[in-house]
Amino acid sequence: MEPIEKTIVSLDWMTITLFTSLVVFALGKYQFHKKFLNFIILPFNDKYILLHNKKGQFSHWFHLLLTLFQLVNLSFFIFLILHTFDLVPQDNTMTNYLIILGFLALFELVKFLVQMFTGFVFNNLSLVSSFVFSKISYLNYSSIIICIANILLIYIANDSKTIIYTALTLIFLINGIGLTKLLKNHQKTLLPYFLYFILYLCALEIAPLVLIGSYLKG
């Protein structure tokens, strides 16, 4: 009976966490309906980026709510991946999730501050802000896929590696579309800073993925 009781408790906190994230998402949708309509077609139309990429965009409640939704679900997805591949202890699951959430939030905050500081140092804060807003927006969009994957992994297909690989493919595809559009729209502006842009990609985007991949492989 003990293993069954443990599973029920785990599902309880998972359900509460997912439900809370969906409430946050719904709040953003209904409070900022016009923004949401532009946001939901983001991979196919840049209207959301063009209309809302301006001063104060990072502190707008719609952006903050979607970023919170992204943090909660991305942390959950990472937790489920580690759990599926037996890379974390099977007990204290909620503690493990909170640790992942804390590290991810800290990482994204530090990366954001470094990016803003870089823009300030090179006297191109406007360009960097535009780049960061676009990148975060596409990551927030991909969190919709992540949330669906989380629901499937918890309630329908436990420990399904197929769902994990499919979700990862879609996440990389969505963010790849965003990066491609960003480079296309700002290619002339980015050209003088091409070397710094490559260094940025290697240090803050590619390196963390390589480290995570090495950890999972090991």
Q: What is the pLDDT of residues 23-45, one digit of tens each?
A: 999 999 999 999 999 999 999 98
Q: What pLDDT, in 10s, does the model give residues 90-131?
A: 776 888 999 999 999 999 998 888 888 877 777 777 878 888
Do the domain assignments include residue 156? yes
Range of the domain at 43: 2-186
Q: What is the C-alpha to C-alpha distance for residues 58 and 54, in angstroms, rounded to an integer?
A: 9
Q: How many CA atoms lie within 13 A of 44 on its CB side?
A: 4
Any domain includes 199: no
Residue 26 in any domain: the answer is yes
**What's the structural domain count of the chain?**
1
pLDDT 10s digits, 138-156: 999 999 999 999 999 999 9
Kindly state whether residue 206 falls inside one of the protein's structural domains. no
pTM of the model: 0.86
Q: Which of 156, 1, 139, 152 is nearest to 70 (CA)?
A: 139
CB neighbour class for 165 (10 Å; exposed up to 12, middle 13-18, buried from 19): exposed
Residue 169 covered by a domain: yes
